Structure 1
Amino acid sequence: MDRDKTLRDLDQLIEPTGAVVLASGGAPGDTEPAPWLQVSADVRTRYLGPERRAGSGTYSHPKERHQDVLARSPFSDIDIARWDRTVTRTLDEVIGLQFSYSYSSPAQLGDHKDAFERDLRQALTEFSPAGTLDEVVRTEAIIATRPSTACTLPPG
């Protein structure tokens, strides 16, 4: 996505007092990943390779942070709200989560889906015999508005 162009277009569409809000899990590296995520990534890489798939192509996170793109846009007044919580998932929930991602969906895995599930279940069970996996999940909202302009009244 051309984020600069999108923000210029939004400048024409959004009311003068409106805002752009980006909700996400935060940028990669903002939180310490749960160790079991690497176990899942290792199994996924064995089946799908090291590049993150997206549809029929691949995906990589943008190199420039959203805040930096917003800072040079008409919506350069930026506030950020973050909430962290610990989520405990069962083995079945983690496997279902992997299948819900576009980069490790059953469509991506094709005929290897069942073998992937078996290997992932085995690797995660070895990692956590109790069958529960904790992860700190971040929710981040970047709220960007146009800078306010001070209104000055003429003397008198």
Structure 2
Amino acid sequence: MHPSIYAGAVTDAWEWDPSLYSGSAEYYARGRAAYPAELATAFAAELGLDGSGRLLDVGCGPGSLTLLLAGLFEEAVGLDADGAMLAEAARQAAGAGNCRWVHRRAEELPAGLGRFRLVTFAQSFHWFDRPRVAAAVREMLTPDGVCAHVHASTHESVHPAIAELVREYLGPVRRAGQGVLPDGTAGGEAEIYRAAGFHGPRRFEVPGRVVTRTVDEVVAGVFSLSSSAPHLFGTGRAGFEAALRRRLAPAETFTVRLREIAVDLWFTRGC
């Protein structure tokens, strides 16, 4: 048994805690594939975005989607509960004068942030008190405003040895912060949006693509995940990384196909 297995107070009933992505911010931008420019083009075409209005990206992490869409709005606001993620977002945004970063939990919305033309959830909605957040967001939209739920994966495992090694170090059940997610993250978001008063969805898609990742990027990708965030390994972190690099050798690059990106648009009135 590795020394990091079951480090911390793991409980059966999962609740969010600030350690969810602890230590992951520095790895996120390097380890995750960037959202493609075609996604911004599709958003602009679907919603007639013309540089006016405001964007709120909830659970923005290091600003991956916020920064992609910021040029389509007067102001882009990224909100996240992880201060290190926001610091990385600010670093990535150097020179983007219309971006603002807010360190709050989604459950604190509306938080005096005002009204928005578009609110986005990209790989984040499942971490929240979803009925509460969806209801708050609906009231924050302008009369013609839209909430977008982005179904995407910016990370795909490139080698079966990765999951095997994570299980060796962290145990067989998926870790998340100080708890576990034996059944994965929650689904069924459509019912939650409708219960909050949204209409829809109207869906558009951006095709999948092939990306090539270096070993360093693959390692960063592993540490960018909540299920294998750096803090979870405790004193075994260096040993885990060394073992991971050995198992990935002798390959220097890996090619992986990312799935298509599907975006569900939810409206405050019939669309």
Question: Take 1:24 and 1:148, find their aligned partners in 2: how far apart are those partners?
Answer: 22
* TM-score, length basis structure 1: 0.74
Shift of 1:24: 4.0
1:66 aligns with 2:186: no
| Percent of aligned positions that are identical | 28
Question: Take 1:68 and 1:86, find their aligned partners in 2: how far apart are those partners?
Answer: 33
Q: Which has the higher contact order (CA 8 A, sep 6+)?
A: 1
Check the 8 A contact 1:53/1:103 in 2, yes or no: yes
**Which of these residues, 220, 238, 251, is aligned with residue 130 of structure 1?**
251
Partner residue in 2 for 1:153: none
1:43 aligns with 2:170: no
Decide which structure has the larger Cα Rg and report it. Answer: 1
1:75 aligns with 2:75: no
**Which of these residues, 52, 73, 86, is aligned with residue 174 of structure 2?**
52
SS at match of 2:185: coil
Contiguous gaps of at least 5 residues in structure 2: 1-127
One-letter code aligned to 1:93: E
Question: Take 1:76 and 1:13, find their aligned partners in 2: how far apart are those partners?
Answer: 15
Runs of 4+ in 1 over 4 A off after TM superposition: none
Check the 8 A contact 1:19/1:75 in 2, yes or no: no
**Which of these residues, 99, 104, 118, is aligned with residue 228 of structure 2?**
104
Question: Take 1:47 and 1:86, find their aligned partners in 2: how far apart are those partners?
Answer: 30
Shift of 1:76: 2.3
Question: Take 1:120 and 1:80, find their aligned partners in 2: how far apart are those partners?
Answer: 38
SS at match of 1:140: strand
Check the 8 A contact 1:34/1:136 in 2, yes or no: no
1:4 aligns with 2:131: yes
One-letter code aligned to 1:136: R
Check the 8 A contact 1:74/1:146 in 2, yes or no: yes
Query: Structure 1's 69 and 97: CA in aligned 2 closer, same or farther, altered over 3 A?
Result: same
* TM-score, length basis structure 2: 0.45
1:87 aligns with 2:211: yes
Question: Take 2:194 and 2:264, find their aligned partners in 1: how far apart are those partners?
Answer: 11
Check the 8 A contact 1:95/1:117 in 2, yes or no: yes
Bigger fraction of residues in helix: 1
Question: Take 1:141 and 1:51, find their aligned partners in 2: how far apart are those partners?
Answer: 30
1:114 aligns with 2:241: no
Question: Take 2:213 and 2:204, find their aligned partners in 1: how far apart are those partners?
Answer: 25
Shift of 1:41: 0.9
Question: Take 2:157 and 2:229, find their aligned partners in 1: how far apart are those partners?
Answer: 21
| Count of residue correspondences | 138
SS at match of 1:46: helix
SS at match of 2:172: coil
Question: Take 1:80 and 1:54, find their aligned partners in 2: how far apart are those partners?
Answer: 30
Query: Structure 1's 53 and 10: CA in aligned 2 closer, same or farther, altered over 3 A?
Result: same
